[in-house]
Chains A and B, each alone.
Chain A
């Protein structure tokens, strides 16, 4: 009797895993294919073949863009600048705004929260043209327009301009997320800190921020990835090849006239994935602790 129940419950544990494994196989196959194909002349299913169709034909040719095309490093750096700039902006503004929205009651607070949510729901494609005019206008502002080192400025055809636009589109989510994290911190702790001798700003920085580290990590990862992968906005507002980003570079490989080399596109795609992976490895602990119930407890 007992034994049979034991077997039954084991099946109950194994079955879902089995189902999930089966469902995951096609996805895994996709990844495996990408990796194999970047090192092959052609592929037949998952098997690398050479131009004559024989098994073999392994090559580094598809990765040649790394040493042959100087532009790849420029666009990589641009993507990196975009992703980092966006992350800093989103985290900083969201954390401050989220704190204010969570703690301070001021006129228009509710309305503000409501409108940011509506803005978030707005598809960014519909805004492209109006934003274009805004960026053109900013371009004419001295220094701020196109005279800033690293990001180039905040005008049209600059990385900074793209950061600015993406920042605006990302903030509603970020502010709401941060507000949620701040809401979960007890008022008493903040009061205790104020009484202990902190200013408001110090309470925010020394008492509250350390406790929402997992939230900040999550927001930083999302912002970094979306900045790194973003295609539409940099593609629209950056015309200069040298200022463009890696996603736009990938697009330029699919030219309309020449035949498309999918193995090379896979290689560039894989190359694009590397920093995201590294970033994820360093932050996954925080991400996991969010799912495990916040930052409470000893560690």
Chain B
């Protein structure tokens, strides 16, 4: 089923929960709603579910306007962070409860519940109460309960946040596989950008109730439209430097104290001439240059190691350049210490430029 949100707004007095949100979800698509705490993800989701009534805007399922349709008639399944199982019912009763309300015949109810339970690997827990299950098992039951009624739309509100890291990883893969197999249109709320990047077909990034970006994961990563998106997506986060881009002899250069690098024309064209722009570069697009200085490319900058954080596979080091700091991922084998002088090569083919006033990208908008 297709879903469309048009200028969707929810307001409580002066507080905006969501503001002019426009999202279109294709049939069978998996969309992630990503953003920091309090940005309006849950609000948006609950409007889609019919729990909150929109202050303004339109919700369409297919072509049908759903604004005034009560939740029970929307045929959506929802999974909550707190599981929200009914504690006084057994797992089996939890699974069949939505079907009972839809007046599915008893025999079919039992069959479907059994089938979903097998699929979720909770078949042996049918007679237990939720209080006797582990968190991971409870979340499986919650997911099963959302599936038994065969919804046309699945809504997830941070379903994995209460699980430990390892379980989160396996459940993530499992939910994705289920969604692809069943082909149910899904909206998945999360504040974990890795979760969004790995699972979603498209990601909607929200901030303070506003939609910041809505595009596929790779585009979000490679072509961030705003400063906020660039900083929020990616781990470790993108480095930002305040620079001036000047043009001399047909060549573009980005400069600030201690830094002077050449910029490819197609990257820097719109940044040139402004007194101040924000240069964004991801830690993996910076690399350490070994050997003696001299005769090297004009994208190498000298700096000094400020902090070293071992991450296991890599070391994350903070390099001071002039008065700015950048994070770089390096091979632990290099054995860098505090205060060591280093030279960094900037891969300017991947550089981003933003207008610090409007926070908009100077490349993609």
Contacts and interface: CB of A to CB of B under 8 A. Distances in A.
Contacts of A295: 87
B118 to A, nearest CB: 21
A30 interface: no
Contacts of A299: 129
Contacts of B82: 186, 188-189
A196 B149 contact: yes
A210 interface: yes
A192 interface: yes
Contacts of A192: 78, 80, 84-86, 145
B88 A196 contact: no
Which A-B residue pairs are the 8 nearest by beta carbons?
A: A197-B101, A196-B98, A188-B84, A192-B84, A197-B72, A298-B131, A210-B88, A188-B80
A106 to B, nearest CB: 15
Given A198-B72, A210-B88, A191 B80 contact: yes
Given A186-B82, A210-B88, A211-B87, A195 B132 contact: no
A195 B131 contact: no
A189 B84 contact: yes
B86 A194 contact: no
B224 interface: no
Interface residues of B, number: 28
A199 B49 contact: no
Contact of A194 (B51, B85, B129): B51
Contacts of B76: 195
B77 interface: yes
B209 interface: no
Contacts of A193: 86
Interface of A: 186, 188-189, 191-199, 202, 207, 210-211, 295-299
Contacts of B51: 191, 194-195
A195 B101 contact: no
Interface in B237-290: none
Contacts of B86: 189, 192-193, 207
A184 B83 CA distance: 16
Given A195-B71, A195-B78, A211-B87, 18 more contacts: A188-B80, A189-B82, A189-B85, A191-B46, A192-B80, A192-B145, A193-B86, A194-B71, A195-B49, A195-B74, A195-B76, A195-B77, A196-B72, A196-B101, A198-B101, A202-B101, A297-B131, A299-B129
Determine which residue in B80, B102, B149 has the highest number of CB atoms from chain A within 10 A of its CB, and name it.
B80
B67 to A, nearest CB: 16
A298 B72 contact: no
Contacts of B131: 296-298
Determine which residue in B50, B97, B102 has the highest number of CB atoms from chain A within 10 A of its CB, and name it.
B97
27 contacts: A186-B82, A188-B80, A189-B82, A192-B78, A192-B84, A192-B85, A192-B145, A193-B86, A194-B50, A194-B70, A195-B49, A195-B72, A195-B77, A196-B72, A196-B97, A196-B145, A197-B98, A197-B102, A202-B101, A210-B88, A211-B87, A211-B88, A296-B87, A296-B131, A298-B129, A298-B131, A299-B129
